[in-house]
Amino acid sequence: MAAAAIALGLAGCSAPPVTTNVTKVVDGLSINVTSDPPEPHTGNNNLEVTIRDAKTGVPVVDANVAGTVVMTAPRLTGVTQTGRSKGNGLYEIPTVYATATTYDISIQIERPGHAAADVNLSLEAAQ
């Protein structure tokens, strides 16, 4: 089976492919994104997003998290799914990959009293 890859970057920036366990600091948040299963495949999958305060390490438990998945070739309209809080700063976003190809994913994080944070990544789903 082909190895899965997630490329994580900020809006407008690209990054080389990395593993399916990536942490980035965006707008004062430490955001860790993993895939469940670790090697995404066609069909039902989940993105697991762990959010912590970048300075204190305290879990962010009051976020609204959503993810939009867009197939890159052919480019199709994205589907936005709302993340579910699993507690302790962990949010789960259900995803469906229709075919083995590359997908662009945008994760939006909103919290009361804070600016919204956006994380963009690319993910390759296998058969």
Listed by start position, the domains of the chain span 19-124
* Rg for the chain, CA atoms, rounded: 14
Residues 7, 122 contacting (CB under 8 angstroms):
yes
Mean pLDDT across 108-116? 93
How far apart CA 110 and CA 127 sit, in angstroms, is 33
Assign domain 19-124 to its CATH architecture: Sandwich (2.60)
Is the pLDDT at 69 greater than 50? The verdict is: yes
Mean pLDDT across 64-85? 90
| pLDDT-above-70 percentage for the chain | 84
DSSP string, the chain: -PPP-EEEE-TT-----B-SEEEEEETTEEEEEEEESSS-BSEEEEEEEEEEETTT--B--S-EEEEEEEEBTTB---EEEE-EEEETTEEEEEEEE-SSSEEEEEEEEE-TTS--EEEEEEEE-B-
CB count within 10 Å of CB 93 equals 22
- pLDDT tens-digit map of 18-38: 346 788 899 999 999 999 998
* Mean pLDDT of all residues belonging to the chain: 84
Residue 95 forms beta bridges with which residues? 45
Confidence of residue 1 (pLDDT cuts 50, 70, 90): very low
Which has more confidence, 30 or 121? 30
Is the pLDDT at 49 greater than 70? The verdict is: yes
